Structure 1
Amino acid sequence: MARKFFVGGNWKCNGTTEEVKKIVSTLNGGDVPSPDVVEVVVSPPFVFLPLVKTTLRPDFHVAAQNCWVKNGGAYTGEVSAEMLVNLDIPWVILGHSERRSLLKESNDFVGDKVAYALAKGLKVIACVGETLEQREAGSTMEVVAAQTKAIAERVTDWTNVVLAYEPVWAIGTGKVATPAQAQEVHSELRDWLQANTSPEIASTTRIIYGGSVSGGNCKELAAKPDVDGFLVGGASLKPEFIDIIKSAEVKKSS
C-alpha cells in the first residue's frame, strides 16, 4: 500500500492570538488535495492548541510541539501526554533538533518520550538529523541511525509513528539538502528500518523531510521516492504552506 503523503507545520515559538487566527483563516480557505492524498498536521505553541483545534478545518489535524516523559506531577512548565489526550490533540512532535541541542535531550530521553506518548494513545512525529560538523565528518548515517535506534528499541507498533529527517544545518538557515541528499538519507534510513525492525515497517513508515522547505523547492523534493512529505518550519506560517501541501499531487502522479 502506498504511503500517504504527510505535511506537518511546526509553528515553533511564534504567534499572537490575532496572528494565529490569520494563519488558520488562510489554511481554512486553501484549495488543497483531499485527505485521501495528503495528511496535514499543524503544530502551534501549547497556549494556542485549543484555539486552533476548535477553529481549524476538520480535514487538518493538530499536534503539540512536545510533551513530558511521564504522567503529570511536580514537573513545572511541562505538559503531559495525558493532558494532550484530554484536549483531544492527536499528534505530538518529539526529539526536534532544537530540543536536542538547546535543552540537551539525549537519544535515550527522546526514545522514552516517544514510547510514553505512544502508550497514551498519541501519534508521534519523531525527529532525527545531523549537524553540519557531523555531515562534514561523514558521520550522517551513524548519527541518524543512533537516534533512530533509541526510538526503535522502545517502539513495538509503528502504525502511529512518522519519522522526520531534519538535517540541523538546514533548519531555519535557508540551506536545503538537495533532493539527492534528502533521498540518500531517507533511503538509508529505510534500509536501516528493514534491517533492524522489519521489511513491513520499512515499507510502510513515512519518512518526511524538514529543513528550509518552501513553495519553491517542495515539488522537486516530493518527487523523490523515499521522501514521504515534509515537516515545515517558517514557511508553515505563510500562505506558501498551501503550495507545499499541494506538492502531494507530485507524489500522487509519480
Structure 2
Amino acid sequence: MRRKMAAGNWKMNGLQSNLAELKALAQEFGNADCDILICPPATLIHSAASTTADAVDIGGQDCHQSETGAHTGDISAQMLKDAGATHVILGHSERREDHDESDHDVRHKAVAAIHAGLKTVICCGETLEEREANNTLDIIGGQLAGSIPDTVTGENLIVAYEPIWAIGTGKVPTLDQIGEVHDFIRARLERRFGEGVGRSTRILYGGSVKPGNAADIFGVSNVDGALVGGASLKAEDFGQIITALAAS
C-alpha cells in the first residue's frame, strides 16, 4: 500500500516567525495517518527540521546538479541533506519557466538528489494552451521520460502532477481530467520501471488544492495526496487538507 502524502511548498514565503505555523502543524498532526512534508525556503530548512522533531518531513525547493563548485547562489543536494532536509522538489513549473529548466536539467538534479540520499518530488504539468490543444498526455509523457532518471525506486520518487494553468489561479481541472492524467502517469511508470516501482510510487496532485475541494480530489483514482502552495502556509488551512487526506 502506498502511504498518502500531504506536501506543502512555501515557495518564496516564510521568515523565522512563520515557524510557529509549522510547530502547530507538527503538534496537532504528528501522528496523522499520512506523511506530511513541508518545503520552506532554504533559509528556514535547518530551523524547520529542528522545530518539527521528525513529526513533519522537511524538503528543499530545488538543488544544483553538482555536489560543489563555483555556482554562486546555488545549493547542492548534500547541503540540503546536511541542513536537515529529507526531500527536494524538482522541476516545478515556476523553475521551468522562470529559470528555463529543461527535462535534462531536472533529470541531472534528480540524480544528484538521490545520490545525496534525498527523496525527489518531480513535477510535471501542461499549460492552458497545451490543454486546450488536447496535448496534455503527450506533454506529460515527455516530461516523465526526460525528467525521471533510470535509477529511481518507489522509495525515492514521488511524482507531482500540477497543471500550470491551475497553480495559484483558483481554476481546478475536473475530477475526470485529474483521474485521466494520474492513471496515465501510473501506466507510464509501470511500463518503464515495472510493477514494483510503478505501483509503489506516489502521485500527488497540485494546483489550487484547498480545504473545500481536497476531499473530492483525494477520491480520484491514483491520487495519493497533494502538493499544496498557498494553503500550506497556515496550519489551520493545511490541517484541513491533511484531515481530508487521512480520511480518504
> Is the TM value for this pair above 0.5?
yes
Instruction: Name the amino acid aligned to 2:6.
Output: V
Residue of structure 2 in register with 1:66 after alignment: 62
Q: TM-score, normalised by structure 1?
A: 0.93
Q: Distance in 2 between matches of 1:156 and 1:49?
A: 24
Structure 1 position 245 matched with structure 2 position 229: no
Assess if the C-alpha contact under 8 Å between 1:141 and 1:188 holds in 2. Answer: yes
Deviations 1:203-226 (A, max 9, x none): 111100000100000001111121
Deviations along 1:90-141, one digit per CA (max 9) or x if unpaired, are 1111100000011100011101111111012111111111111111111101
2:137 corresponds in structure 1 to 141
Cα deviation 1:157-181 (Å, max 9, x = unaligned): 3421100000000001011122221
- Check if 1:208 corresponds to 2:204: yes
User: Aligned to 2:188, which of 192, 199, 213?
Assistant: 192
The runs of 5 or more residues in structure 2 that have no matched partner are: none
What TM-score, normalized by structure 2, do the two folds share? 0.95
For residue 88 of structure 1, report the CA deviation from its aligned partner.
2.8
| Residue aligned with 1:247, SS | helix
Count of aligned residue pairs for this structure pair: 247
2:121 alignment counterpart: 125
Contact 1:33 1:248 in 2 (8 A): no
Q: CA RMSD in A?
A: 1.5
Post-superposition offset of 1:156: 4.1
Within 5 Å, which residues of 2 pair with 1:77-96?
A: 77-96=73-92
Query: 1:116 corresponds to which residue?
Result: 112
CA contact (8 A) 1:170 1:176 kept: yes
SS of residue matched to 1:163? strand
Which structure 1 segments of 5+ residues have no match? none
Aligned residues of 2:11 and 2:40 also touching (Cα < 8 A): yes
What do residues 12-60 of structure 1 show as CA deviations (whole Å, max 9, x unaligned)?
0012221x13322331343x3835x200010110001111111125321
Instruction: Among all aligned residue pairs of Structure 1 and Structure 2, give the percentage whose two residues are the same amino acid.
Output: 38
Partner Cα separation in structure 1 for residue 108 and residue 150 of structure 2? 7
Q: Secondary structure at the match of 1:8?
A: strand
Q: Output the CA distance in 2 between the equivalents of 1:60 and 1:17.
A: 17
155-164 or 86-95: bigger deviation: 155-164
Contact 1:152–1:197 (CA under 8 A) maintained in structure 2: no
| In 1: Cα distance, 2:172 partner to 2:182 partner | 15
